[in-house]
Structure 1
């Protein structure tokens, strides 16, 4: 085999991946900065939704304009749709080998992991004497139903980029665990404002994004439909839990460090069960 493969071969595929990822990330970072700068002028309160969350969606739109045929393949399974007869995910991630029942159980466990993270972090914060008070949703400045709906829309604006585009791109080249960790690191660095905080705060936040990305990446492995809503739902539950139970937005270091540690603990079961899932996936593919 020579080092000059045709564009449809491995070399061409690597170039395609780099081009798509490069365009997506460039636009996602720039658009988030622009959206953040214009939000004060729009009058939209950040408690309801942060416009920066739509930066990744803008990155996906840019990729769609440049490579419309590819983006349809990349986003297959992001929205509701029929389950394929072969049981394999359209992004190449395979199946969990348990059919619809096994996939449904994994989806439920994925969503349940979000409140588990909040319970772990808020509980630990209370034990060490932190200000872990549960906020009554009725005391928020805006109707809680509006906050929930807007948070879900904003979370989906992020997740269509991170979990529905970048994750499948990386997954096909690095495997599920490594790809999830890589996407989580990029996801964390995309929140550039966090890097201006204390080093321990930034470290806790990056630990959280990497761990949550691992949970999402492994939890969505083999899920053929509604990937965007599942990822957005997980993201929304975490955001709402932090809004009501923690005070990390103040810049306090301890709650963010505990949040990062809670995310790491919640990710451990997903990592430990991955070998069994991989074996089932391989057996299912062989059949």
Structure 2
């Protein structure tokens, strides 16, 4: 009897070892090797900075007005294209979900951003703009609203160009770099790292003084956290969602506030507005992480 029990015990230990080995193998397949992750990140960032500078230098020769479209925005997209040439076997995994995808079943449906979250994401720029405008009223007593008629270009052209430029950035920041860093870090940490790189990439903004740069970096990091949390596990239409968010923020800055000016106070207010708008997203993500899923909750106290 004891021999039989010992034999069963040894078989159970063998099964546990096999299961652990399978789990380790599965995790290893899902994660990018450390050297590959570091190399891809370094090359992408270096090229994003370099190509943005080259595009900015070429802008005067093209005759494209910077208020319509800044060619520097194409730096991240060009960096993604270069990385795709260097690592063609890995680019598909990194860009999974960038474009709309056909539904293939329940699992695919769960990987889409729910309509409520989609609306919340696209309404968040309105909240940021409203908070920035409120801050401007408190500081200066006036609201710097710019009429679309003040620009020499049609509103449809401005909106379309803003969307194109925002998507050219977001295919690099949120569609490539964010998923790549998620192979090594949690969603908040990865989002903070992307937001920091995104902010530092805007080199001219960092030359306006320490307070201005601090407000700008606060804005890029907290907006990156909002996007990172909103798009977590979303594998469809990531580019249009991130680009739409980015476009709405830029349009708010262009027409309702004056954060595009070199004045320090508006940028500090803008950074504070982005931070305030990120708090509900962070709180919601913490609640979701602390709440067990339905299956876990239903079986937690069940028979063993």
Question: What interval of TM-score do these two structures reach, taking the shorter chain for normalisation?
Answer: 0.7 to 0.9
Distance in 2, Cα, partners of 1:65 & 1:33: 21
Confirm or deny: 8 A CA contact 2:31 2:183 kept in the other structure: no
Change (3 A) 1:22 1:80: same
Which residue pairs with 2:42 in the alignment?
A: 22
**Which structure 1 residue ranges, 5 or more long, are not aligned?**
1-5, 90-94
Please name the residue that 1:87 is paired with.
107
Aligned to 1:92: none
Q: Shift of residue 72 of structure 1?
A: 1.1
Q: 1:37 aligns with which of 57, 68, 81?
A: 57
Matches of 1:186 and 1:281 in 2, distance apart?
A: 33
Q: Does 1:168 align with 2:168?
A: no
Structure 2 runs not aligned, ≥5 long: 1-24, 300-304
Residue in structure 2 matched with residue 118 of structure 1 by the alignment: 129
The 5 Å alignment of 1:51-200 reads 51-85=71-105, 87=107, 103-129=114-140, 132-200=143-211
Shift of 1:69: 2.2
Check whether the contact 1:103–1:223 (CA below 8 A) recurs between aligned residues.
no
Deviation at 1:10, TM superposition (A): 9.1
Which secondary structure does the structure 2 equivalent of 1:249 belong to? coil
Q: After superposition, give the CA deviation of every residue in 1:6-41 in whole Å (9 maximum; x if it has no partner).
A: 9x7799611111111111111100000001111011
What secondary structure sits across from 1:218 in the alignment? helix
Aligned to 2:264: 253
**In structure 2, what is the equivalent of residue 208 of structure 1?**
219
How much has 1:70 moved relative to structure 2? 1.0
Q: 2: CA distance between counterparts of 1:131 and 1:53?
A: 31
* 1:49 and 2:49 correspond: no
Aligned length in residues: 273
- Distance in 2 between residues matched to 1:281 and 1:166, nearest whole Å: 29
Higher relative contact order (CA 8 A, sep 6+): 1
The alignment's TM-score, normalised by the length of structure 1, stands at: 0.88
Question: What is the Cα deviation at residue 245 of structure 1?
Answer: 1.5
Q: 2:295 and 2:208 mapped to 1: Cα distance?
A: 47
Structure with higher Rg: it is 2
SS of aligned partner of 1:273: helix
Root mean square deviation of aligned Cα:
2.5
2:284 corresponds in structure 1 to 273
C-alpha change, 1:246 and 1:12, in structure 2 (3 Å) is closer
Q: How far has the Cα of 1:82 moved from its partner? A: 2.2
Q: Does 1:241 align with 2:252?
A: yes
Distance in 2 between residues matched to 1:11 and 1:265, nearest whole Å: 33
